Amino acid sequence: MSRTLSRRYWLTGASSGIGAALAEEILKTGAHLAVSSRSVAPLKVFSQRYPGQVLVVPGDLTNSQTVREIGEHIAEEWGSLDTVILNAGTCEYVDSKQFDASIIEHVVRTNLLASSYCIEAALPLLRAGTAPHLVGMASAVTYLPLPRAEAYGASKAGLRYLFESLRIDLAPEGIEVTVISPGFVNTPLTEKNDFPMPLSWPVEKAARHIFAKFRDRPLEIAFPAAFMSILWPLSRLPARVQLEIGKRMVRSQPPIKDQP
């Protein structure tokens, strides 16, 4: 993949975590980057540090009209996109003793529906771009059912299927699709977890790894390797064995819910 000054990216969830670290990796190459999040201040910092490279397009991506307007703004400014990285998302945990469907609704809307709105806005711009590449942030949690991950896991499993189906349909147009499946990464989202995060990576290391892999356009970027080497065999076990493993992981108190 050629990374030139004119290559144009759109990155969502750019204000913190993997998104902010990825923004740094992209901008250091001299590329142009459109950045989205609900928090405007961190996006303006990027535009100040990398003058002439950053297009600030903030907004609530769960609002389809807002996303449509972001797409129109990018089209007016640039006319096309070469790479779109849909990274924005959230995580909330479910307490089955007080099951709240609104948690499922919120997480699915943020992680899955918002991504579909962004895809709708991005595809016309990618079709006009050079060597177009669509990237979605899934999760390694989709390989194995985990306790209290009903909302997060369902949203990310849906996002994975969405991107993998799109990969087939977009292939004749030359638009390549990559799914990212991180294990534990130290971000503001995961620091709220009240359980151990084995083999977790610093966010800067995760971003460097992801960006380095982009040049090969893999179908999936799954990491860290040591974590995946444990998780993947577990995902191949019979459902009853997975159930017993999951039951042992259940905690007496649910983790703190993230409130975006």
Catalytic residue (one of 9, 93, 117, 152): 152
For 76, the token pair is 């007016």
User: How would DSSP label each residue in 8-51?
Assistant: EEEEESTTSHHHHHHHHHHHHTT-EEEEE-S--HHHHHHHHHST
**DSSP summary character for residue 135:** E
Q: Is 152 a catalytic residue?
A: yes
- Determine the longest span between alpha carbons in the chain, in angstroms: 56
Q: Which residues contact 205 (CB under 8 A, 6 or more apart)?
A: none
SS3 category, 78: coil
Cα distances (Å, whole numbers) of residue 103 to 90, 121, 140: 11, 26, 21
Distance CA 31, CA 66 (A): 25
Tell how strand 176-182 and strand 185-186 pair up.
Answer: unpaired
Cα distances (Å, whole numbers) of residue 30 to 2, 23, 48, 64, 81: 12, 11, 14, 31, 15
Q: What is the amino acid identity at position 34?
A: A
User: How would DSSP label each residue in 169-206?
Assistant: HHGGGT-EEEEEEE--EE-TTGGG--S--TT-EEHHHH
Active-site amino acid positions: 152
